[in-house]
Chains A and B, each alone.
Chain A
Amino acid sequence: EAGVTQFPSHSVIEKGQTVTLRCDPISGHDNLYWYRRVMGKEIKFLLHFVKESKQDESGMPNNRFLAERTGGTYSTLKVQPAELEDSGVYFCASSQGSYQVWPWAYEQYFGPGTRLTVT
C-alpha cells in the first residue's frame, strides 16, 4: 500500500511569488491534515479536511494560505504571495474515516514533507 506522498520535495521561491504544494493521501483515507514546522519551532497544525470539506482550519496563519481538496482525494496548499517567514517544512498526513475501525483510535500517517525556502 502506498503511503502519503507529497510534491515537490523541495521548493525555492522568491518573496512575493506563489507556490503550490500537493499531497496525495493514502487511498481510502477520508481525513487529510496539513502541518508545518518553521525553523527552530515545533510542528504546528494548519488544517484538517474530512473528504472535501474543511473540518478545522484554525491553524492557518493568514489569508495568504489557501488549501483545497477537490473530490476528496488529493489536496493542494497554495501560498500567495510567499513571505520569508513561510519558509519551513510542510507535512501532510492522512487517517481513516469516522468509526471504521475499533477502538476508534486513529493514527495519522505522514508524508515526507515539502521543504519550502522563500528568499
Chain B
Amino acid sequence: DAKTTQPPSMDCAEGRAANLPCNHSTISGNEYVYWYRQIHSQGPQYIIHGLKNNETNEMASLIITEDRKSSTLILPHATLRDTAVYYCIVRVRGSQGNLIFGKGTKLSVKP
C-alpha cells in the first residue's frame, strides 16, 4: 500500500470547516483513499473512502485531486466532538488485509 503524509496537528474553530490534507504521491491506480479517526478512548472509526471522484456522506466530504496524489477530508461544520486523530490510509481495491496506521493528524476543535 502506498505511503501517506499528514500534518501532525491542526486546530479548527467550532462551527467552521475543518480541512485535513493528505499526500499520497505514490498511489497506484487501483488504490483507494480511506479516512478513519480515533476519538480519545474509543476505537478507530471509519469515515469515508474514495477512488478518484469526490465523495460525500453524512460525516464528511473527500476531495481527491485529479492526479490522485493528494486528498482533503472536509468536516463542514466541526464540533468539539470532532476532536480526534485523523488517519489517511491508502489501500488496494478489494484488499481485505490489515490497515496500516501512521501517526495521523491530531485535530483540535476549539470553542
Contacts and interface: CB of A to CB of B under 8 A. Distances in A.
B43 A91 contact: yes
Interface in B23-81: 32, 34, 38, 41-46, 49, 51
Interface string B82-111: 000000000101111111111100000000
For the residues of B in contact with A, the DSSP-based class is: loop
Contacts, number: 62
Contacts of A22: none
A42 B38 CA distance: 12
Given A4-B43, A91-B44, A104-B93, A45 B49 contact: no
Interface stretch (A11-19, A61-69, A71-79, A109-117): A109-117
Given A103-B51, A107-B49, A113 B96 contact: no
Interface of A: 4, 31, 33, 35, 42-45, 48, 50, 55-56, 59, 91, 93, 95, 98-99, 103-113
